[in-house]
A and B are shown apart, each in its own frame.
Chain A
Amino acid sequence: MTDSAFAVVRAGALTTVQDLGRAGHAHLGVPRSGALDEPALRLANRLVGNPEGAAALETTLTGCAVRLRRAATVAVTGAPCPVTVDGRPAAWGAPVRVPAGALVEAGAATHGVRAYVAFDGGVEAERVLGSRSTDVLSGLGPAPLADGAVLRLGAPYGPAPAVDAAPCPGPPRELVLPVVLGPRQDWFTPRALRTLATGGFRVSAASNRIGLRTEGPALERARDGELPSEGMVLGALQVPPDGRPVLFLADHPTTGGYPVVGVVPESHLPAAAQAVPGTALRFAPRHVR
């Protein structure tokens, strides 16, 4: 009853521990990391009575399954998926009371990419620089889940709130991302900036927690040469030599030498993180206010 461990029965394609990340260390080369769909993580935590920044599991496309040794309140948010407890259907987007010994499974996402599985008490992995997040770029934080791994839960914070279900926005069928142009839009031809505004892009299957890669038209540079390395922000739209923009997500490198044509505001990144490969993608550039 007091055993706080849980065992990973099915780790899925990529399941990691995520909280709100480790901001404040970019000058040392440490990515911010943290949940890609932050509102979904915060919601899952609220549903089980945790502080919003507690650590939970972030799954990728195929979900995951864990066996709990203590009774727990569990909530699954983010990408909609079938939730089962010992094989019986349970609610998605709502707190579910699970007995000790039960197998909790978040199935494959019906749409969207990343589901968040929160437990009351949170996932109790070791903190690195203040965060329990797995950073896939630099390897900080707990390792991605593997079948048979055993993790621990923290002590519950208190009673979960009385709630039946919470509304969650569904992932979009088409992704439209505003882009604030700069700081290096002058590295691109006027035609490239028109292409950015009018081109039909798609989300590439090569996307990951570091960046959303695009397929579609290439952006043509107005100048050759290398940009001396400079600091990179979350949401930067960096254009490598092949001309295909890469949208930087939570595990992005902190500095880079390819020009950033513009920046997608943070409030639009959760939708980007939920866009499955092949999703139609358009950009809506605007000049900085």
Chain B
Amino acid sequence: MTGPDGTARVRGLPVGDRALLLEVDTGEAAQALHAELLRRAGAGTLPAVREIVPAARTVLLDGVADPRRLAAEVARWEIPPLTGGDGDTVEVPVRYDGPDLADVAELWGVAPQEVARIHSGTEFRVAFCGFAPGFCYLTGLPDHRHVPRRATPRTRVPAGSVALAGPYTGVYPRSSPGGWQLIGTTDAVLWDTARDPAALLSPGTRVRFVPERTAGAARTPHAGKEASA
């Protein structure tokens, strides 16, 4: 939703005395707002904040001296729409071998191998992270490719699972319970605290999933152990 002049409307909701939740109407507007906040923080024109936490329709600014004043200021900003080309693209190698691949193909009305072609042909962008360190919510699939969560969550989803839920694609950084539809597996290491940065992906990162050549059932289970992105 946009205002009469075509710019996104930003509502500022104070969160306690030291934080501000900026709310917009769409996920795309939230990503554009987040990009603008990072740009201003980098340029030194944003008041000091401890955390900038994007999410589905919001960006949280935590550790703000005067949330009300900042809310009034943000309401006056013009927020440029997201541009396609900026920033590096991280390539994540994937074997499209997930146990829910057939179910997703059925939901999409395509053959299973088409799921790999469509998914790997999409440019994704990290909208936000959460749930676990290094778990990112990637957008990019069009509305008609959105899928529901599994009716019954799995008690254990293996690390490296590439999964879909709602409008998002995600990669499980470590084994955990989860209800997303599993379409593939990657050997990329999403989170490694011995590495700097620890997170392979962070909000705003562009991502492409690259199908790995697999010779049918003959693929070697230990191929490509290192992070290859």
Contact = CB atoms under 8 A, between A and B. Distances in A.
B128 interface: yes
B21 interface: yes
Given A180-B16, A183-B13, A229 B130 contact: yes
B19 interface: yes
Interface in B58-110: 58-60, 62-63, 68
Contact of A27 (B13, B16, B58, B202): B202
A128 B134 CA distance: 14
A289 B66 CA distance: 11
A49 interface: no
Interface stretch (A62-70, A193-201, A259-267): A259-267
A230 B52 contact: no
Contacts of A266: 18
Interface in B1-51: 13-19, 21, 50-51
Interface string A171-215: 000000000101100000000000000000000000000000000
A212 B23 CA distance: 27
A162 interface: no
A169 interface: no
A276 to B, nearest CB: 25
A180 B53 CA distance: 20
Contacts of A165: none
A274 interface: no
Nearest to B11: A183
Contacts of A254: 53, 129-130
Contacts of A25: 133
B220 interface: no
B130 A182 contact: no
Contact of B134 (A29, A183, A263): A29
B79 to A, nearest CB: 18
Given A24-B50, A29-B129, A255-B128, A236 B15 contact: yes
A105 to B, nearest CB: 33
Nearest to B16: A263
Contact of A253 (B16, B130, B198): B130
Contact of A28 (B13, B68, B198): B198
Nearest to B55: A230
Interface in A139-178: 140
Interface size class of A (residues with CB under 8 A): 20 to 34
Contacts of A241: none
Contacts, number: 110
A122 interface: no
A288 B199 CA distance: 36
Contacts of A140: 133, 193
Contact of B21 (A23, A128, A180, A183): A183
B130 A255 contact: yes
A104 interface: no
B112 interface: no
A30 B133 contact: yes
Contacts of B157: none
B15 A27 contact: no
A44 B85 CA distance: 52
A233 B58 CA distance: 13
A26 interface: yes
A231 B134 contact: no
A253 B50 CA distance: 16
A233 B53 CA distance: 10
Given A28-B129, A230-B57, A253-B131, 15 more contacts: A23-B50, A26-B62, A28-B202, A30-B133, A129-B193, A228-B56, A229-B128, A231-B58, A231-B62, A233-B15, A233-B16, A255-B55, A260-B15, A263-B19, A265-B16
30 contacts: A23-B51, A25-B133, A27-B52, A28-B129, A28-B133, A29-B135, A30-B133, A128-B193, A129-B193, A129-B198, A138-B133, A180-B14, A180-B17, A183-B13, A228-B57, A229-B55, A230-B55, A230-B60, A231-B55, A233-B62, A235-B16, A253-B130, A253-B131, A254-B129, A255-B55, A255-B131, A263-B15, A263-B17, A264-B16, A265-B18
Interface of B: 13-19, 21, 50-60, 62-63, 68, 128-135, 137, 193, 198-199, 202-203
Interface of A: 23-30, 128-129, 138, 140, 180, 182-183, 228-233, 235-236, 253-255, 260, 262-266, 288-289
